[in-house]
Amino acid sequence: ETGVTQSPTHLIKTRGQQVTLRCSSQSGHNTVSWYQQALGQGPQFIFQYYREEENGRGNFPPRFSGLQFPNYSSELNVNALELDDSALYLCASSLSRVGAQETQYFGPGTRLLVL
Amino acid sequence: AQKITQTQPGMFVQEKEAVTLDCTYDTSDQSYGLFWYKQPSSGEMIFLIYQGSYDEQNATEGRYSLNFQKARKSANLVISASQLGDSAMYFCAMREGLTGGYNKLIFGAGTRLAVHP
């Protein structure tokens, strides 16, 4: 059983650029959630995708967008990068099913630095 | 609004001793789940233990146990027989609702645990 993988591991961008982060969910999982973790803080929920549709969104502007593909992998896109977007971006996958408790399993994260 | 509070920014423990990491939560929901994750310096969040709001028994997973006191809204993590590899950040998180549907985790600020030989 393969775990959650993310790419790239590290990324450096300049202000105003666009970035795409990728996530492959754990085998058998159908839901992907993205979190932003600024230095010294706990992760903050960005959004969640279930069966290729956005299933909930946190307090992030529209320049944060995403996709989920039929194989349940996912992308996080951030347009018009700002310095405050520098953070660790974590992807988590889970299996959503009726009557069952869900646990989110996280990938290793992508460290984004915006200069 | 739902909230998780971890009041210990840092904790020290001697190897082989037990340590308790505190977590209090605030929610108006009757159904919720509580999680603990470990984050080593590499960055990956590692799932440790889960407690559902209707679970009558405290959850245990190997050396990890969750001291769940519902009336006090606390969900403290107890690590027994600490090991050097336990040195990491520990996050308490809460999920609204128990099963299915929208699955957002709310995290606390974390506690950094250092295990000394």
Model pLDDT for residues A17-43, shown as the tens digit of each residue: 999 999 999 988 989 999 999 999 999
* Inter-chain residue contact B47 with A109, CB threshold 8 Å: no
pLDDT higher than threshold 60 for residue B102? yes
* Inter-chain residue contact B99 with A101, CB threshold 8 Å: yes
Of B98 and B114, the structure prediction assigns the larger pLDDT to B114
What is the residue-averaged pLDDT of chain A? 93
Best mutation target, A37, A60, A89, A113, to test chain B (most B CBs within 10 A): A37
pLDDT higher than threshold 60 for residue A91? yes
**Which 3 state secondary structure label does DSSP give A83?**
helix
What is the residue-averaged pLDDT of chain B? 93
H or E element at residue B29? none
Report the pLDDT value the prediction gives residue B100, as an integer from 0 to 100: 56
H or E element at residue A1? none
* Inter-chain residue contact B98 with A101, CB threshold 8 Å: yes
Nearest to A106 among B45, B100, B102 (CB): B45
**Minimal CA separation from B81 to chain A, in Å:** 25
Report the pLDDT value the prediction gives residue A2, as an integer from 0 to 100: 73
Cis status, amide bond into A8, omega within 30 of 0: yes
pLDDT, average across residues B100-117: 89
pLDDT higher than threshold 60 for residue B99? no
pLDDT-based confidence at residue B88 (cuts at 50, 70, 90): very high
* C-alpha span between A20 and A78 (Å, rounded): 7
- Long-range contacts at A45-52 (CB < 8 A, ≥ 24 apart): A45/B104, A45/B105, A45/B106, A46/A76, A48/B102, A48/B103, A48/B104, A49/A74, A50/A96
Best mutation target, A21, A31, A34, A104, to test chain B (most B CBs within 10 A): A104
A69 neighbors A53 (Cβ within 8 angstroms): no
pLDDT higher than threshold 90 for residue A99? no
Q: In terms of CA atoms, which chain A residue is nearest residue B40? A: A108
* C-alpha span between B15 and A32 (Å, rounded): 37
Nearest to B31 by CA among B89, B85, B110, B102: B102
Q: Which of A50-59, B23-32, B64-73 has the highest mean pLDDT?
A: B64-73
* Inter-chain residue contact A103 with B42, CB threshold 8 Å: no
* Inter-chain residue contact B104 with A100, CB threshold 8 Å: no
Report the pLDDT value the prediction gives residue B98, as an integer from 0 to 100: 57
* C-alpha span between B50 and A101 (Å, rounded): 9
- Residue A77 tokens read as 């896109």
Q: How far is CA B83 from CA A47, B5, B16, B18, B90, in A?
A: 35, 25, 6, 10, 14
Report the share of chain B in percent with pLDDT over 70: 95
pLDDT higher than threshold 60 for residue A70? yes
pLDDT, average across residues A97-110: 85
pLDDT, average across residues B77-105: 88
Report the pLDDT value the prediction gives residue A104, as an integer from 0 to 100: 93
